[in-house]
Chains A and B, each alone.
Chain A
Amino acid sequence: MNSKTMNDSSQGLGYLTKWRYASSLISIVLMLLSLTVIGVKGFNWGLDFTGGVVTEIQIDKRISASEIQPLMTAAYQQEVSVISASEPGRWVLRYANIADENQRPHLQTVLAPLNSDITVLNSSIVGPQVGQELVEQGGLALLVAMLCIMGYLSYRFEWRLASGALFALVHDVVFVLAFFALSQMEFNLTVLAAILAILGYSLNDSIIIADRVREQLIAKPQWNITDINNLAVKSTFSRTMVTSGTTLLTVVALWMMGGTPLEGFSIAMFIGILTGTWSSVSVGATLPEFLGLKAEHYVIAPLPDTP
């Protein structure tokens, strides 16, 4: 492996270079598109953030949304959204809260004309100020997590290498957000948790590749950076696929079996893991190259292995 490669460091991995550049370009174009989508469509914020009332009820399977809707709208004097839940006969009702408890119509009475047993499976009433606080808290959590990760990365890696991982991270989060903007699926607290988890996971792949790049830069200072990048992507590729694969499998299991409460979470994770893998082998690995990463940056002895 050693003496031969001194002369031809590309090791026949030249095709990877082209692939990496092309996929990076696609990533950047998609990211710009995603930002536009987020800007144009905005999010369908969940109850946790907006405040209001969400009640899940179980009634006779034969009753349709068009029968529930007018009764609710008349009683609560506002547009009440009636969405079908996971099973037939289950409905999720969402409306703004009526502050005065005495004037709040009783759900059982409102739906009495339907002549069906009505079981309230769960109900949540969230005040507007709580929602506002959560938006602030959620934003703060994202920001703090980002800052901590940046701090760690810049301590652990050379800034050019770190910026690749960071860009890949932003790319993934933007992508997941864009999906939620485009599909107008409810953006609730569990989705926020998923996005924070994606922050962590997306970095996994990038960091492992960056680790390899650093290792190779130290071991093979005379190689050019393009070839080192190709080698790093290639040699970690099977690991990337296996880990992303098992994680995707479990997320799919969660998606299939977890029921409605975890649906948004699973979908967010699913997309996050897909784009996370994609971005780590494309932009994540290519950006440091464009920023001029060279072997000289790692001539000095590396930092100790444990943080």
Chain B
Amino acid sequence: MTSIISNKPLNKSLNQYSLWKYWVLIVTLVILFFSALPSWYGEDAAVQLITKKPNTLSSEQVYQVLNNAGIKSKRIEQQQQNVLVVFAQAEQQNLAKNILSKSFSDTAQVTLALYPAAPNWLLDMGFAPIKLGLDLRGGVQFLLDVDLGLVFQNQAVMVSDSVKQFVREEHINGVRVRQGIGAEVHIETSQQAHKGQIRQFLSQQYPLWQVSGQQDTLSVVLSDDEQLKLTNLTVQQNLQIMRSRIEELGITEALVQRQGENRIRIELPGVQDPATAKNVIGATASLAFYPVAETGSVNALVLKDELNKPVYVSRRPVLSGEHIVDARAAVGDFGMSKVNISLDATGGKLMSEFSRDNIGKPMATAYSEYSRNDKGQAQQVTKIISVATIQSQLGSKFEITGAGSHQEAQQLALLLRAGSMTAPVTIVEERTIGPSLGAENIANGFAALALGMAVTLLFMACWYRRLGWVANVALVANMVMLFGLLALIPGAVLTLPGIAGLVLTVGMAVDTNVLIFERIKDKLAEGRSFASAIDVGFDSAFSTIIDANFTTMITAVVLFSIGNGPIQGFALTLGLGLLTSMFTGIFASRAIINLVYGRDTRRAIKV
């Protein structure tokens, strides 16, 4: 075993770290300490007023309103476009939001917010508190399923319709077109020549579709690449829609992100009543304008109106909801509610061309909503909300009436504004964590952390008397670093399982030191001096430490990449904890030991 020493260059003096290593250590620790500090102060409940025009709202006005209502604020800050009100008591937040949104409904949008309670000099340095997960903060979480089946089906309908039309126009007989599952169309024909014609038509019109032939059947399938692209686009669009809808709800710190292939996870911290949020998130609506066809027409689509009367409309809408850029509820003549709609350029052109040719004829507005039936399948319910006669050529701005009460008109406008839904979205998971439970989880988690920490510190101090305090300093440094990193890493969220990971880290982190100390003990027993035992002990324990931590690192990485919210929190603290414990256990404790015991040449010392 003496071979290990001979590997070292002889001129290197024993147990000495160069100055720069101490600098690295100290700078790292100081930065992470400051980064961890704001989390100690926590966050205050706040309300943010975002004014529609700059400088139209002063903090005095806000103070006046709150004061009249008997709500005390900790402070009110005014910036160009917004006013921030921070409360000392969290319960006042919701109350204040209601009062403020009533008073300033014309000038500002009122949203709930959280504001770090740390002193400003700390925040000015760019440090922020650790972001807490919903299980610690309270709030509502939804998991949405974007049903791509219908999207693909719509694509297939488009292709089969145009094939049918082509066949009709070209007078090709004996062709049957039927839809397969998803983006798939089967065309049956016995004539080889017809097959060629249809193939040519398809490759010209729909180059992204793959055509394969089997005897009498042509199968047309959207290519895998294109299906993936369509999936991504649809989910992205839905993400966008969800973000803007949630913005409308007035929650600033909401999290909307994609999960897996076709899921969207929405976290709404601070929301206590899921019903309101659900109505806005869960509803998927789209609007389309149809030319009204003759009653009884064979080639028409039959839709029901409010009173369940059938309305015959053309199969092809004039334009659909994706061209809508803005929609606002307003009160029209005779106190009737209406929705003002603005279209984009393409939509405006389509509408103006259509209305020019059809003045005096009726146009129907169809409103589609998606819901999920008992079997969990998405279904589309379309109803006609208005049939109006086109009075004049319409431009890119027009209005529709007949949406019901003013409140319903507002709801419709909100849904339309958020855009058109090309894929139905349904809520497949819903979790509500009451605010008191969130606070309780934090208290429990940190009580466990404190107890675990105290017991471990005590144990190490008693077990390794002479070196125990070094391990304890390393452990405390480890915790500071962990909290600092959690606050520093963008996107890192602390969850309840995450706290469990912290507690486990406390127990496991000392392992690095234990391994080293046991080796040092061994070497001392072999009759080495303390200083030389330290040197050899650290060296021989190193590869074991790496080995032992590596496997846990593997599970942490797997958990992080496969798990969801809370479990990812666990994987994060577990993995980061391993890294910091190696840093403090090997590097920091060596630095301390070198300084204190590095020159100790006594033999037969008890550790």
Contacts and interface: CB of A to CB of B under 8 A. Distances in A.
A269 B503 CA distance: 12
Interface in B126-149: 135, 143, 145
Interface stretch (B179-187, B236-244, B548-556): B548-556
A12 interface: no
B224 interface: no
Interface residues of B, number: 73
A219 B1 CA distance: 7
A108 interface: no
B551 A149 contact: yes
A137 to B, nearest CB: 6
A249 B452 contact: yes
B432 A145 contact: no
Question: DSSP majority for the A interface?
Answer: helix
Interface in A178-228: 189-190, 192-193, 196-197, 199-201, 203-204, 207-208, 211, 219
Contacts of A259: 440-441, 444
Contacts of B436: 119, 121
B376 A204 contact: no
Contact of A193 (B1, B135, B376, B497): B497
Contact of A208 (B260, B427, B544, B550): B544
B251 interface: no
Question: Which of B1, B427, B436, B452 counts the most chain A CB atoms within 10 A?
Answer: B452
Contacts of B437: 56, 121-122
Interface stretch (B114-122, B225-233, B566-574): B566-574
Question: Which of A193, A250, A254 counts the most chain B CB atoms within 10 A?
Answer: A250
Interface in B418-438: 427-434, 436-437
Contact of B441 (A236, A256, A261): A261
Question: DSSP majority for the B interface?
Answer: helix
A263 to B, nearest CB: 11
Contacts of A203: 548, 551-552
Interface string B164-180: 00000000000000000
A249 B455 contact: yes
A281 interface: no
Given A141-B559, A250-B503, A257 B448 contact: yes
B448 A245 contact: no
Contacts of A129: 145, 376, 428
A207 B552 CA distance: 11
A152 B543 contact: no
A163 B544 CA distance: 18
B507 interface: yes
B508 A201 contact: yes
A257 to B, nearest CB: 4
Interface in A141-171: 141, 144-145, 148-149, 152-153, 156
A297 interface: no
Contacts of A119: 434, 436
Contacts of B506: 246, 250
A269 B544 CA distance: 23
A247 interface: yes
A144 B434 contact: no
Question: Which of A121, A196, A219, A266 counts the most chain B CB atoms within 10 A?
Answer: A196
A245 B497 contact: no
B451 interface: yes
Nearest to A248: B507
Range for the number of chain A residues in contact with chain B: 35 or more
Contact of B500 (A140, A242, A262): A262
A121 B460 contact: no
Interface stretch (B26-34, B209-217, B289-297, B509-517): B509-517
Contacts of A251: 503-504, 507
Nearest to A129: B428
B581 to A, nearest CB: 12
A89 interface: no
B518 interface: yes
B558 A144 contact: yes
A2 to B, nearest CB: 9
A236 B260 CA distance: 44
A195 B460 CA distance: 27
Given A207-B547, A239-B514, A120 B554 contact: no
B459 A245 contact: yes
Contact of B433 (A122, A126, A204, A243): A122
A8 interface: no
28 contacts: A1-B526, A120-B432, A122-B432, A122-B434, A137-B563, A145-B554, A149-B554, A189-B566, A190-B497, A197-B574, A201-B552, A207-B551, A208-B548, A238-B518, A243-B508, A243-B514, A246-B456, A246-B507, A250-B503, A250-B506, A250-B507, A251-B507, A253-B503, A254-B504, A257-B448, A258-B444, A258-B503, A262-B500
Closest 7 CB pairs of A and B: A200-B552, A250-B507, A250-B452, A247-B507, A127-B428, A253-B452, A257-B448
Interface of A: 1, 56, 99-100, 119-130, 133, 137, 140-141, 144-145, 148-149, 152-153, 156, 189-190, 192-193, 196-197, 199-201, 203-204, 207-208, 211, 219, 235-236, 238-239, 242-243, 245-251, 253-254, 256-259, 261-262, 265-266, 269, 305-307
